[in-house]
Amino acid sequence: MLADWHVLDYSLSVVAEPERFADDGLVPGPVAKPPGAALAVTLPLLPTYLWVASPSPLTARGPALRVPPRPVRTALSARWA
pLDDT digits (tens, 9 = 90+) for 19-39: 888 766 666 666 666 666 677
Residue 50 covered by a domain: yes
Residue 16 covered by a domain: yes
Residue 42 covered by a domain: yes
Q: Domain range holding 15?
A: 6-80
For the chain, the domain total comes to 1
Is the pTM higher than 0.75? The answer reads no
Say how far apart CA 23 and CA 70 lie, in whole Å: 19
Residue 10 covered by a domain: yes
Residue 52 covered by a domain: yes
Residue 1 covered by a domain: no
pLDDT band at residue 54 under the 50/70/90 scheme: very high
Burial profile 4-41: b = 16 or more Cβ within 10 angstroms, e = fewer: ebbbbbbbbbbbbebeeeeeeeebeeeeeebeeeebee
